Structure 1
Amino acid sequence: MGIRLEDDWSGRNRGGSLRRGLYGLLAVVLALAGTVLYVVRQGEVLSGEQVSRCGKIEPLVPKFKKSVDLILHDAEFKKSSVEKLSKAIQIATEIWDVNPEPADDPEWYAHFYEFHRFLEQTFPLVHEKLRREKVNELGLLYTWEGSEPDLKPMLFMAHQDVVPVNKKTWDEWEYPPFSGHYDEKTDLVWGRGSNDCKNLLIAELEAIEQLVIDGYRPRRSVILSFGFDEESSGPLGARHLAAFLEDRYGKDGIFSIIDEGFGVLPIDEGLFVASPITAEKGYVDVIVTVNGKGGHSSVPPDHTTIGVASDLITVLEDNPFSPDFEIDNPLFSLLTCAAEHSSRLPKDLRKHILRAPKSKTSRKMLEKFLSSDIRFRDLIRTTRAVDVFNGGIKANALPEVSTFVVNHRIDIHSSVEETVAADAHFAKKIAKKYGYGFAINGEFSIPETELGYIDVKFSEALEPAPISPTSDPAWNILAGTIQDVFENGVFANRDDVELYVSTTLMPANTDTRYYWNLTKNIYRFVASILDASTFETIHSVNESIKASSHLSAIAFIYEYIVNVNENA
C-alpha cells in the first residue's frame, strides 16, 4: 500500500507528520500526485476549448531488447545481482564533512582503493571494453567509445561514498550497517549505501556489463562518472570530474546526464508515478558575526553580543521569504493533472490552475494556496534555517564575539545575491537598533562604533540549477523508456497497473551542480520503486532497498542506452 493523503485543496493542513528533510518533501509531493492521478479514471471531461497537459506517455520500445526480461525476471540473474550489490555495501566507503586531498593521505581513503579493486573483479568486461581513467586519484571515469565519435556522449553519474554510520546507532540496525544482508522474505538488501547510492553505481556497471555480454556496441559513446565525496558536496570528486569532462568535450558537449534522484512511487493499489527531478534549488550559507566588547559579567551592557545576535535571529525567523510561484516550477504539472482530472477539486481552484499559463491573477491565487500549506510552501520559496550558533567562552566573561550560520535553499526564481541581500537588510536594521556598525564582507556601510559592529559574509554559494527541458527529444526518450520498462517489463503481467511520468523539484543538490555546462538535459532519476519506508531510512538506521527495485534500475539503464542510440 502506498502513501495516501486526504484531498484538501482549501490551503489548510489537516495534520499528520511531515516527513523530515528532502525526501520527506518529495514523498509528500508525489503522494499528492498519486491522489490526483488516481481519479483520472473517474474525472470530469475537459471542455472543448481546453487542451490536456496531463496525458499518458507512449512506451518507447527498443529494437535491441535482448536481456531486459532476463534482468527483470530471471532468478539466477537476480541472485548474482544481489550478491554484487551486497558486496559493494560491505566496503565502508564513508566520507566526512572535511577530507584531505587523496594524494596527501591515501590511508584516509583505503576503503575506496579496496572498492576499486572490487569493481575490477566484479565487472571484468567493463574493465576490458571501456577505458577507465582516474581523476584526482579516486574519481572514476569510464568511457565506452561509440562507433560514431561525432555524436555527443551520454553520461551516467553516481557516487562511491556513503554517509558515515553513527557508532551509537549500530545496535538499532536490524542487520549490521555494512553487512549487505539480503532477506529473501522481504526482498530487502540492507546496509549503508544500499539506496544512496551504491545501488545506482552498481546498476550502471551491471547494465553495461550485460550489454557487452549481449554483443551490443553503441553508436554514441557512453560515459560513467563516479565521484567519491558527494556527501560533502563533491569538491574533491565531482568538481574535478566535471572540469575534466568539460575540457575534453567542451560546453554543451554531452547529450544527456542521468544521476541519482527520485524514482517510482507506489501511490495506491495499481498506481505508480515516476518523477525525474528536473530542477534543484540553490544554496548559500550566510555567516553573521556580532563583534562587541569584552569585560566582566558583573558589569554587563544592556545587550551582550549574544543578545544582539538572538534578536537578529528572531527577526530573520519572523520574516520568511515570500513565495514565488510560476508555471515553470515542476510542481505545476502535478497541479494541472488535478485540475484536468479530479472531480474533487473545487471549481474555483480548478479554474485558476487552468488559467495560470495566461493569467497573472490565477498564478497569484495558486501561489496563495501553495504558500498556505506546509506540504508545498518550501517548494515555492527560499528557505532560511539558523543551524549553527557560537558565542561566549566563560560564564563570568562577556562574549566578545557571537556568530551564527544561516543555511538557505534558494528558490528557482531567486539568486544568491538576492538571498544574501535579504539577510543583510535585517542585519543592518539590528545594527542601527543597537548602535553597532555594519559591514558586508568587511566593507562598512555604517562605521564601527564603540559598541562594535555586525559583519555579514557568505560561503558555499550555488545558484539554482537550470530547469531541464521536458519537451525535446532527450526528455521524450527518457520518459518513453521509463514507460516501457515499467509498463511492459516490471508490470508486464499485471493488468491492474497504471504508470504516469511526471517531474519534481529537488530542494537540495546532487553532484550535477558541477555539470551544468555540459548539457541542459540533466535528469536526476533512479528507476527503483520506492515506498514510504525508503524515505525514512535514507541517511538513517536500517537503510535498505528491494532487490526487485534494483533490478528495474539495471533494466532502465540497459534500455535507455539502447533507446538513445536508436532514437537520437
Structure 2
Amino acid sequence: MSEPQHASIKDERPSGQPTPAHSKYKKFVLPLIGLLTLGFAYISRSTGNASNSTFEVPVSQHCVKSKPYYPSFNKSVNLILNDKQFKIDSIKKFSGAIQIPTEISDVNPQPDSDLEYYSEFFKLHKYFEETFPLVHSHLKVEKVNKLGLLYTWEGSDPSLKPILFMAHQDVVPVNRELWDSWDYPPFSGHYDSETDYIWGRGSIDCKNLLLAELEGIEQLLLDGYQPKRSVILSVGFDEESSGFFGAKALASLLLERYGPNSMFSIMDEGAGLLKFRDNLYVAAAVNAEKGYVDVNIAVHGHGGHSSVQPDHTTIGVASELIFMMENDPFNYDFSLDNPIYDVLQCVAEHSTFLPPHIKDAILKAPVDEDERKLLTEFASSRRDLRDMIRTTRAVDIINGGVKANALPGLTSFVINHRVDIHSSVNETVENDLYWAKVIAKKHGYGLAYHDEVIIPETKLGHISLNYEKMLEPAPVSPTSGHVWDIFAGTVENLFQNEILADNKDAEVYVTGGLFSGNTDTKYYWDLSRNIYRFVASVFPLQQLRTIHSVNEHISASSHMSAIAFVYEYIVNVNEYGHD
C-alpha cells in the first residue's frame, strides 16, 4: 500500500464533495442491516401520512431472488438446524469459548516479547484442540506469530483455488466498572433456555463465527467429507486493535505461499440477515468498507506565564480549528453504486410499509436526478444512515496544558476519519489541511505538513499536521458472477428452503452491503477480489446494540444457522465452483 502524495493546499474553500472513484475503487459501529432498521422505522413512523404518489412501483425490477444452490452432500444440515442434542452440544462448545477472556487492548506487546500477556489465548488454543479433535487431527495447524491460527484442509485437487474463512480470537475488554450491569457475568457464556440467548463478551464479535467455522468443518469431517478444493481457516488475535500482529502476519504468509488472487473467495465477520415487516429478509453481505486515516494536528506556541495573556492560547487556536471542522462536515453523496442502495431497492420493491414518496425516491433515483437528491436528503438526515454516504471526521483525543498558571506551549488533537468509498486518504487529508491553513493565516501561525513548511513559522509559533494510520477504501467485491452466485445461492437455499421452509410468506433476498469500520480483511485484498463479510444469522437490532457493550448476546438458533452455512458453503463451492 502506497502512502498518499502530498496533499495540495488550495486557497479556495473545498467543498468536501467526494471526487470520482480513485483507482482502488475499481473496489462496531452497527452493521448496515442494523442501521437500516432504524432508518425504516423512522420512515414508517414519521412519514406514514405522506400523500399518495401516482408512480407505480415496479415489481422485482432490480432486487431479484438468487438461484438457490442445494448441496447434494447434505448429511448433517437437518441435524445442525433441528436436532436438540446437537444444539445442546454446540451451545456448550460456544459457551466454553466465551468463558476464556481473550481481551485485547489498543496497544499490545509483540507476542515474542511477552507471552504471559497472551496467556488466555493459549488456553483458547488448548480448548479448541480438545473441543474439535477431528479438525486438529485432519487439518494442518500452524501458529503464525505465536498466536495466529492457520488451519489448512487439503483438497484432493491442488490446482483449484482454496476457500478462505476468517475470524478473530480476541474480544474488546469489559469495563470492570460496568461488570455488575450485565444480566449475566460477561465471561459466563450463560445460556438462557427461555429466551434462547447465549450471553457474554464475544458472543457476536466474533467467537460465534469462529466456533461456527470450526464446528462446520468438524461436522463435515465426522460425516466423511473430502473436499476437492482446499479449505483454509485464518484466525487473527488482535483484530480489535487493527490486526497488526495477527491478520497482517497471516495474510503475508498466505500471499507468499499461494500468490495474488489465489483464493476462490474470502469470508469474514460482517452483517447478517435483517427481518423487515411483512416477512421480508435481506441478507446484506458486506462487500465494501470505508477507508481510514488518523490525522494529528498540533498547535505549537511558546508558553509563558498565564498572567500575561495572549489573544488566543494554543488551546484556543486548536479549539477554533476543531469548531470550524465540525461545523463544515464532508458533503453527502449517495452514489447509486453504493452497496447501501442495493438494500434500499430490495425493501422498496418487496416491502409494503414504506411511504410512497420514499419508495418513489429509491426506485426512480437511477433515472430522475431530483428523486436521487431526495433520497440523499433523506439518508443524510438520519444518523444511522448518513455516515455511509460521506467521509466522517471525529476528534477523539485532545491534549494541552500542564498547569493552571502556565500558558500551554503545545496543544494537539487526533482526528479519526472514515473515508467514503468514492474518496481517498489524500483527498481527506487535503480537506484538513485547508482548514489548518485558514486558522494559521487568521492567527498568524506558520503551517507544516509532515515537516514540509507550507507557511514559515512566526513569532507566535506554527501548526503541524501529520497523518498516522491510514487505509484507502477497500476494493468493492462483485455482487454478480459465478463466485457471488454460489455464495448468494447458498444463503438463499439455507434460509428460504430450509430455515424458513414452514413460513410460506417469507421472502429472502441477498445483496451487498457496506461497513463504516474495517475488518481484518484489509490485509487480504491481494488474495481475492471476492471478499464477503457475512455471518449467516438473523440479528435483531437489540442484539446488535450490545456489540462492544454491556449484555452482548446472541440467539442459539442464529448460531446454528451460521454452522449450517459453513457446512453448505464448503460443499456447494466444491460441487459447483470452477476457477
Q: TM-score normalised to the size of structure 1?
A: 0.91
Q: Which amino acid aligns with 2:495?
A: F
Q: Does 1:245 align with 2:262?
A: no
Structure 1 counterpart of 2:148, from 131, 139, 142:
139
Alignment-derived partner of residue 535 in structure 1: 544
Alignment-derived partner of residue 211 in structure 1: 220
Mapped partners of 1:273, 1:33: distance in 2 = 13
Alignment-derived partner of residue 10 in structure 1: none
Alignment-derived partner of residue 567 in structure 1: 576
After TM superposition, give the deviation of residue 126 of structure 1 in Å: 0.5
Q: 2:53–2:357: 8 Å Cα contact kept in structure 1?
A: no
Alignment-derived partner of residue 204 in structure 2: 195
Structure 1 counterpart of 2:339, from 330, 339, 358:
330
Structure 2 counterpart of 1:554, from 548, 555, 563:
563
Change (3 A) 1:283 1:26: farther
Mapped partners of 1:346, 1:251: distance in 2 = 47
After TM superposition, give the deviation of residue 492 of structure 1 in Å: 2.6
Gaps of 5+ in 1: 1-20
Mapped partners of 1:50, 1:89: distance in 2 = 45
Alignment-derived partner of residue 458 in structure 2: 449
Q: Which amino acid aligns with 2:410?
A: V
Alignment-derived partner of residue 91 in structure 1: 100
1:100-115 map, 5 Å: 100-115=109-124
After TM superposition, give the deviation of residue 475 of structure 1 in Å: 1.0
Structure 1 counterpart of 2:485, from 476, 479, 496:
476
Alignment-derived partner of residue 318 in structure 1: 327
Secondary structure class of the residue paired with 2:180: helix
Structure 1 counterpart of 2:279, from 270, 273, 279:
270
Alignment-derived partner of residue 504 in structure 1: 513
After TM superposition, give the deviation of residue 324 of structure 1 in Å: 2.0
Secondary structure class of the residue paired with 2:112: coil
Mapped partners of 1:478, 1:34: distance in 2 = 29
Secondary structure class of the residue paired with 2:29: helix
Q: 2:298–2:465: 8 Å Cα contact kept in structure 1?
A: yes
Alignment-derived partner of residue 22 in structure 1: 29
State the Cα deviation string for residues 237-293 of structure 1 (Å, max 9, x = none): 000001111111111111101100011223236332211111111111111000001
Gaps of 5+ in 2: 1-27
Structure 1 counterpart of 2:535, from 523, 526, 529:
526
State the Cα deviation string for residues 470-502 of structure 1 (Å, max 9, x = none): 011111111111111112222233324332222
Q: 2:53–2:356: 8 Å Cα contact kept in structure 1?
A: no
Structure 2 counterpart of 1:180, from 179, 189, 192:
189
Q: Which amino acid aligns with 1:317?
A: E
Greater shift, 406-415 or 363-372, is seen at 363-372
Change (3 A) 1:351 1:487: closer
Q: 1:297–1:396: 8 Å Cα contact kept in structure 2?
A: yes
State the Cα deviation string for residues 111-142 of structure 1 (Å, max 9, x = none): 11111111111111111111011111110000
Change (3 A) 1:188 1:305: same
After TM superposition, give the deviation of residue 170 of structure 1 in Å: 1.3
Change (3 A) 1:49 1:181: closer
Structure 2 counterpart of 1:148, from 154, 157, 164:
157
Mapped partners of 1:542, 1:348: distance in 2 = 38
- The number of residues matched between the two structures is 544
Q: Which amino acid aligns with 1:84?
A: K
Mapped partners of 1:280, 1:360: distance in 2 = 26
After TM superposition, give the deviation of residue 213 of structure 1 in Å: 0.8
Mapped partners of 1:45, 1:514: distance in 2 = 49
Mapped partners of 2:352, 2:497: distance in 1 = 30
Q: Does 1:396 align with 2:405?
A: yes
Mapped partners of 2:552, 2:347: distance in 1 = 33
Mapped partners of 2:363, 2:558: distance in 1 = 36
Coordinate RMSD, CA, aligned: 2.4
Q: Which amino acid aligns with 1:188?
A: Y
After TM superposition, give the deviation of residue 405 of structure 1 in Å: 0.8
Alignment-derived partner of residue 313 in structure 2: 304
Q: 1:93–1:162: 8 Å Cα contact kept in structure 2?
A: yes
Q: Which amino acid aligns with 1:176?
A: P
Q: 1:389–1:403: 8 Å Cα contact kept in structure 2?
A: yes
Change (3 A) 1:261 1:45: farther
Q: 2:295–2:416: 8 Å Cα contact kept in structure 1?
A: yes
Q: Which amino acid aligns with 2:256?
A: D
Change (3 A) 1:339 1:200: closer
Q: Which amino acid aligns with 1:386?
A: V
After TM superposition, give the deviation of residue 26 of structure 1 in Å: 3.9
After TM superposition, give the deviation of residue 542 of structure 1 in Å: 1.1
After TM superposition, give the deviation of residue 342 of structure 1 in Å: 6.1
Greater shift, 333-342 or 269-278, is seen at 333-342
Secondary structure class of the residue paired with 1:461: strand
